[in-house]
Amino acid sequence: MTDARHEGIPASARRVRGVLRRHAYLILKSWTRIVSMMYYPTVTMIVWAFVTLYLAPTNDFLRDAPGFFIGAVLLWDVLFRGQLGVSLTFIEEFYARNLGNLFVSPLTLPEYIAGQLAISVARALIGVGGACVFAYLLFRFSIFSLGIPLIAFFANLLVFGWAIGLAMSGMILRLGLGAEELAWAAIFILAPISGVYYPIAVLPSWLQAVAWAIPSAHVFEGMRGVLQDGAFRWDHFWAAVALNAGYLALGAGVFAWAMRDARNRGTLLQMGE
């Protein structure tokens, strides 16, 4: 009854589609879920847009780059949604007590992770996309004014979000649902050193060294370069790519370690609310 290839789709791709299908059903049948994905980034964007309107008349930088705060908040949310998309996908399986069913099926861990990442892209596009539409409708700010570099910023932040999301999934698997708050809060420890709303140069020198070790600091510094000087900083781009490769491997490693630990402790059948 089972087939390695079916309808031209390799078995592995079909299993990734199974993970996607499970979460697509969940998201698409609930308009409240879709609204909640857009709600936070839209409200935050509106707050920063009014801050811009308030400060721009007296601030040279904001007068030259009025979309700075809005662009920053939208890009920060790419990172947040990227991480949440991975972590929440995993938490959903916890609540459903579905981990046992998933991992006695032929689904491999890399296939499951591929599904998580794909869902994360969808959640980021829905959440940030909605906020971008409102940014244009309400304030005539188009995120696309960042031009081609936007793709580099978006991709780097998303991948960093994946790395954190995978590590958080591993921690939740190890510590149980009591650690669920990690999924919501972990990212914010990086906000002060990501330079979302200010240059890294304002940080104390020792903290600057820490900041340059995370990809998001390079992305937001790169964003300021585009908005302020109209120049794409390749050095920051490549630094972010290299750091992301390391963090993604680390995040996947933590998740794989936690999964093996769960198979040792016998927790895959017991986990749930």
Partner 1 sequence: MLSPAADSAIVVVDLAKSYGAVAAVRGVSFAVRSGTTTALLGGNGAGKTTTLSMLLGLLIPTSGRATVLGADMPSDRHRVLPRMNFTSPYVDLPKRLTVRENLAVFADLYGVRRARERIDAVAADCDIAELLARPYGSLSAGQRTRVSLAKAVLNEPDVLLLDEPTASLDPDIGDRMRTYLERYQHRTGCTMLLASHNMGEVERLCDDVIMLRAGVVVDQGSPGALIARYGRGNMEEVFLDIARGRADERIAGSAAEESTA
Nearer to partner 1 by Cβ, of 14 and 192: the residue is: 14
Using CA atoms, how far residue 253 sits from 98, 143, 170, 242, in Å, is 22, 34, 9, 17
- The closest of 30, 34, 13 to 129, measured between CA atoms, is 34
Secondary structure of residue 12 in the 3-state scheme: helix
CB 102 within 8 A of CB 93: yes
Q: Which stretch binds partner 1 (CB under 8 A): 13-21, 120-128, 225-233, 240-248?
A: 13-21
CB 89 within 8 A of CB 116: yes
Using CA atoms, how far residue 263 sits from 19, 98, 173, 226, 253, in Å, is 20, 15, 11, 48, 15
Nearer to partner 1 by Cβ, of 217 and 262: the residue is: 262
122 binds partner 1 (CB under 8 A): no
- What mask of x and - would describe binding to partner 1 in positions 51 to 90, judged by CB under 8 A? ----------------------------------------
- What mask of x and - would describe binding to partner 1 in positions 208 to 247, judged by CB under 8 A? ----------------------------------------
Binding site for partner 1 (CB under 8 A): 1-4, 6, 11, 14-15, 17-19, 21-22, 25-26, 29-30, 92, 96-108, 260, 263-266, 268-270, 272
